[in-house]
Amino acid sequence: MTMTAAAEQAVGTKDAIVLVGTTKGLFTLRSGDGRERFELTGPTFAGEEVYATCIDARSGATRLFTGSISNHWGPVLRRSDDLGATWTEDEQAALRFPEDAGASLARIWQLAAGPADEPDVMYAGVEPAALFRSDDGGRSFSLVDGLWDHPHRTQWQPGGGGLCLHTVLVHPDDPDRLLIAISAAGVYRSDDGGSSWRASNRGIVVGFLPEGEDLEFGQCVHKVARDAGDPERLYLQHHGGIYRSDDGGGAWTAMTGIAGMDFGFPVVAHPSRPSTAYLLPLESDEYRCTPDGQCIVWRTTDAGETWEPLTTGLPQRDAHVTVLRDGFTTDGQDPAGLYVGTRTGEVYASTDDGDSWRLLAEHLPPVMSVRAAPIAV
């Protein structure tokens, strides 16, 4: 068999699995020839809204997780140990509020792997805004009381999607250093494994509140990503504004390199190249679609000082699309596979760090989450 140019270029990279969570179930894209072609399967859990998925290979075997919700039957966490061929749900709910919390799980927003050398540790971010931790590979989770009992919690206000904890970042050098983000409460950090938390939003201007210049919390942080080279460097997409921190979230500085574009949902860091990150800005918080009908991914390779538009293969006419906070991800490889899912049901991919893109799927239900990872050939 003759290898195509793309396949030759991809030698050394592994095939990828892409979990596409939609409002009507889970779809899976899987490549078989070095990320050149992908096969789509699904829907699994047809009719359920899949806001969170996780692909976890820390233990050596790949585990998949989904957090979904049925409009009728409520939220459910499922796990697959065979790349999605079969899924299991634990008899006792893995993820539920304890009785004395006085709350019920409304939606699972984030499923995040814990430290690399602790493969049984996972985190879940949920609505109402709360963090859960698992120490048994996702079979059971416990509420992180330190955040739930935070005195700010009763003052947190929901964003448009609900009062959700949607981002969990574990520091790669210190598993006790956790960063979470909540819409619309902002960033909170813990240095003691979650026992105590402090708001960490200094410098993030809240344009939608009259006193928004110097608020301790109340920011509508949409997503945070950590730089591949410097773990203290973070990129943040706010409801209005893009920010960078060079001290692990202690202070945030506005990045202004994309003229006039400050609204958007996702931010993605390159998985291995320092100072490299991606944004997909949208036009204003009134419209929330790609501006001028052009779908553009922006890339920085200098930690946000400058940004370049990436358009090759992305629609540049009449493309009024929306990409939500977890609709943009990377598969962790180098060159990076990048995957974008839209609310209009398209999935675009790049396997060359964003230089060029192609359509992997269309006519899917609205995409709420995309996660990707390499798989063994």
Partner 1 sequence: MNVRIRVPTQLRELVAGAAVVEVAVGGGGDGRATVATVLDRLAAQHPALERRIRDEQGRTRAHVNLFVGSDNVRDRDGPATPIVAGEELSIIPAVSGG
Residue 65 token pair: 């997780």
CA–CA separation, 344 vs 96, rounded Å? Answer: 32
Among 12, 91, 151, 318, binds partner 1 (CB under 8 A): 91
| 105 belongs to the binding site for partner 1 (CB under 8 A) | yes
Which of the ranges 97-105, 162-170, 192-200, 240-248 carries the binding residues for partner 1, by CB under 8 A?
97-105
Residue 299 token pair: 């890339």
| 140 belongs to the binding site for partner 1 (CB under 8 A) | no
Among 96, 223, 343, 371, binds partner 1 (CB under 8 A): 96
Looking from the CA of 295 toward its CB, the CA atoms found within 13 Å total 25
- Measured over the CA atoms of residue 202, residue 204, residue 209 and residue 212, the dihedral's sign is positive
Residue number, 23 or 167, with CB nearest to partner 1: 23
With contacts defined by CB under 8 A, how many residues of the chain interact with partner 1? 17
Residue 35 near residue 52 (C-beta atoms within 8 A): no
Residue 248 near residue 202 (C-beta atoms within 8 A): no
| 6 belongs to the binding site for partner 1 (CB under 8 A) | no
Using alpha carbons, select from 307, 282, 280 the residue that is nearest to residue 292.
Answer: 282
Q: How far is the CB of 76 from partner 1 (least distance, A)?
A: 8
Phi, psi at 286, each rounded to 5°: -85, -40
Per-residue contact string for residues 161-200; x = within reach of partner 1 by CB under 8 A? ----------------------------------------
Using alpha carbons, select from 159, 156, 247 the residue that is nearest to residue 202.
Answer: 247
Which of the ranges 90-98, 179-187, 268-276, 319-327 carries the binding residues for partner 1, by CB under 8 A?
90-98
Phi, psi at 357, each rounded to 5°: -130, 160
Q: How far is the CB of 103 from partner 1 (least distance, A)?
A: 7
Q: How far is the CB of 106 from partner 1 (least distance, A)?
A: 9
| 4 belongs to the binding site for partner 1 (CB under 8 A) | no
| 97 belongs to the binding site for partner 1 (CB under 8 A) | yes
Q: DSSP assignment of 105-133, as one string?
A: --EEEEEEE--TT-TT-EEEEEETTEEEE
CA–CA separation, 375 vs 362, rounded Å? Answer: 23
Among 103, 209, 215, 319, binds partner 1 (CB under 8 A): 103
| 92 belongs to the binding site for partner 1 (CB under 8 A) | yes
| 93 belongs to the binding site for partner 1 (CB under 8 A) | yes
| 100 belongs to the binding site for partner 1 (CB under 8 A) | no
Which of the ranges 89-97, 179-187, 200-208, 234-242 carries the binding residues for partner 1, by CB under 8 A?
89-97
Residue 195 token pair: 């026992």
Of 9-68, binders to partner 1 (CB under 8 A) are 47
CA 131 from chain centre, in angstroms, equals: 15
Q: How far is the CB of 92 from partner 1 (least distance, A)?
A: 6
Q: CA end-to-end span of the chain, whole Å?
A: 17
Residue number, 2 or 92, with CB nearest to partner 1: 92
Strand partners, 131: 125
| 319 belongs to the binding site for partner 1 (CB under 8 A) | no
Integer angstrom CA distances of residue 111 from 139, 260, 273: 13, 33, 24
Residue number, 40 or 93, with CB nearest to partner 1: 93
Residue number, 30 or 139, with CB nearest to partner 1: 139
Amino acid (1-letter code) at residue 167: T
Which of the ranges 88-96, 109-117, 124-132, 246-254 carries the binding residues for partner 1, by CB under 8 A?
88-96
Among 32, 61, 74, 149, binds partner 1 (CB under 8 A): 74
198-199: strand order across its sheet: 164-170, 178-183, 186-190, 198-199
Residue 63 near residue 81 (C-beta atoms within 8 A): yes
Residue number, 77 or 179, with CB nearest to partner 1: 77
- Can you give the binding site for partner 1, defined by CB under 8 A? 47, 70-74, 89, 91-93, 96-97, 99, 102-105
